[in-house]
Amino acid sequence: MTGVASLWSYLSASPLLWLTATILGYLAADGAARRLGNPPWANPVLMSVLLIAPVLWLTKTDYGTYFEGAQFIHFLLGPATVALGLPLWENRDTVRRSVAPILLALLAGSVVASASAILLALAFGLPQEVILSLAPKSTTAPVALGVSEAVGGIPSLTAVLVILTGIIGAVCVTPLMNLLQIRDWRARGFAAGVAAHGIGTARAFQVNPVAGAYAGIAMALNALLTSIIVPFLARWLM
């Protein structure tokens, strides 16, 4: 037992342990989702959290130690967000022909996502820092963290809210679109990208490539618009 404890002490001090655990957790979750036929409830990100969180709890590993390894994946969020400009470029002709509806849908989605979060938080009497952390929840993490810090929110809380928003959106988007009888893959994908950023976009690509492309477009445009409107909405509504 002493040898095992010594080995664990050595491994737990290495950032590579939690980087490897994160990657293996996601691969296992993604493989399970594929075998189940990628149903909405079997979201790989959600299942990864459910796999890794008990391990951290059982090993009494604090978030700072875990993040020393996971930060390498976190760093890749920046390049991944920039790469979302590729679907926008590849579909530029389609976007050019549909500029008006795209911009209207984008504006409505961005404003409703931020304003509803602020107003509901105000209605429940949440502290100002929490409200400001909640406002950019529907955009991608690198942008949301920057916006949260700029307006006086708590970036670490914003990160949690962004992940929760993405997971809930990815799980709900397909059943909701089916219930509303929305069949246009462009509309379905765009809605997923605006409301649920990267996790919703990943779900859209699982369902249909056209939906995925439009979700990527929506995510990229929403990141830009959210960074502009959240400071104004926060100042106006609060």
Residues 135 and 20 in one domain: no
Position of tokens 């369902």? 207
Residues 24 and 140 in one domain: no
pLDDT in tens, 92-106: 777 777 788 888 989
Residues 57 and 97 in one domain: no
Domain count, the chain: 2
**pTM score, two decimals?**
0.76
Residues 62 and 153 in one domain: no
Judge contact between 234 and 151, C-beta under 8 A: yes
**Of 30, 50, 75, which residue sits at a domain end?**
75
Residues 113 and 227 in one domain: yes
SS3 61: coil
Residues 121 and 238 in one domain: yes
pLDDT of residue 3: 47
Residues 53 and 86 in one domain: no
Q: Identify the domain containing residue 153 by its residue range.
A: 79-238
Give the whole-angstrom CA distance, residue 162 versus residue 218. Answer: 16
Identify the residue with better confidence: 7 or 93.
93
Mean pLDDT of 49-75: 82
pLDDT in tens, 145-193: 888 888 888 888 888 889 889 889 888 888 899 898 988 888 899 999 9
